[in-house]
Amino acid sequence: MFNGKSILITGGTGSFGKKFIKTVLDRYSPKKVIVYSRDELKQYEMAAEFNAPAMRYFIGDVRDEGRLTKAMDGVDYVVHAAALKHVPIAEYNPMECIKTNINGAENVINAALACGVEKVVALSTDKAANPINLYGATKLASDKLFVAANNIKGSKKTTFSVVRYGNVVGSRGSVVPFFKKLVEDGAAEIPITDPRMTRFWITLEQGVEFVIKSFERMYGGEIYVPKIPSMRVVDIALALAPNLPMKVIGIRPGEKLHEVMCPSDDSHRTVEFDDHFVIMPTIKFTDSDVDYLSNPLGEHGRAVAEGFEYSSDKNDIWLGVSDMLKLIER
């Protein structure tokens, strides 16, 4: 799919960006792979590892529409992964989160339309479904912007879709490296926010594969949700520190006990496929009439039951302690 194509990844020096770029370079022969991010040190370090002739590095912020437009010149596909995503930090710094996650999304859309990009996939989060925290609220707004962009493009060819998934095993800032460091530093106990807490889990490899497949599946306007397992946070602690006692410290600012990816209020527009769900747009696009019950790959879905909700505490797939250890060791 990406052979001979130019691809830009905002926030490309992050965990997802690195894995996505490695997969693309290993599997395809792209014309250009452009990393767009604002941290020069991370780009410098990444360039030492990813130095293929197709690689390009652009210093820039998604808050800067002009710079984004220059970077997207001649680009075919965009993955929008840049975001401020730490829940408590967003609670304390709301305007900074809004500038990056909402205004930045608008800038990506405007730049993609101006440059005639073919397809844009924006990464979202389970926290955007029924959000109670600032981060989730900004990502919900971002999702809405990308879906609605399909209706404001006029005669332009660009299509926009969203991929929504849960916590990534081992990603920077997640609970797995946090617990690991506590063990390495000789901590006497493991802090647990609430023993009832559950979360969706996905590996970086699974996330990358799902995004690539979404490029192949998309018409434009879909929110794609993979079917992934849930796990109790206490089981993560047991997997990483089986001999340490747990200390309940209470839920952090903006946190939920359980996460939702397909809210019940969206059940009337949720379609279930074999390995994923599609949340259809709330609006009807004036220039297209898409049947989201099937996709360009020939896959066919079915409407879910009224009131259906896909949440981490009501999942059909669960990870145990041994399952988590296998994922961490991969």
Nearest to 45 by CA among 13, 68, 21: 13
Distance of alpha carbon 158 from alpha carbon 149, whole angstroms: 9
pLDDT digits (tens, 9 = 90+) for 140-191: 999 999 999 999 988 899 999 999 998 888 676 678 888 888 888 888 899 9
Distance of alpha carbon 215 from alpha carbon 14, whole angstroms: 20
pLDDT-derived band at 330 (thresholds 50, 70, 90) equals low
Element holding 162 (H helix, E strand): strand 159-163
pLDDT digits (tens, 9 = 90+) for 27-86: 999 999 999 999 999 999 999 999 999 999 999 999 999 999 999 999 999 999 999 999
> At how many degrees (to 10) do helices 233-240 and 175-184 cross?
30
Residue 312: Cβ within 10 Å count: 25
- The answer to the question of residue 207 being in a domain is yes
Prediction pTM value: 0.94
- The answer to the question of residue 247 being in a domain is no
- The answer to the question of residue 245 being in a domain is no
Distance of alpha carbon 161 from alpha carbon 217, whole angstroms: 10
Distance of alpha carbon 146 from alpha carbon 138, whole angstroms: 12
Distance of alpha carbon 289 from alpha carbon 231, whole angstroms: 39
- Cβ atoms of 290 and 126 within 8 Å: the answer is no
Q: In which domain, by residue range, is 269 found?
A: 6-165+202-227+263-310
pLDDT at position 175: 80
- The answer to the question of residue 222 being in a domain is yes
Which residues are CB-neighbours of 138 under 8 A, at least 6 positions away? Answer: 90, 97, 98, 101, 102
- The answer to the question of residue 217 being in a domain is yes
Distance of alpha carbon 139 from alpha carbon 156, whole angstroms: 25
User: Residue 307: left if φ>0, alpha if ψ -120 to 50, beta else—which one?
Assistant: left
SS3 70: helix
pLDDT digits (tens, 9 = 90+) for 79-113: 999 999 999 999 999 999 999 999 999 999 999 99
Across the range 242-251, mean pLDDT stands at 91
| Count of domains for the chain | 1
- The answer to the question of residue 64 being in a domain is yes
Report, as residue numbers or ranges, the catalytic residues.
127
pLDDT at position 106: 98
Q: What CATH number corresponds to the domain at position 143?
A: 3.40.50.720
pLDDT digits (tens, 9 = 90+) for 253-291: 888 999 999 999 999 999 999 999 999 999 999 877 899
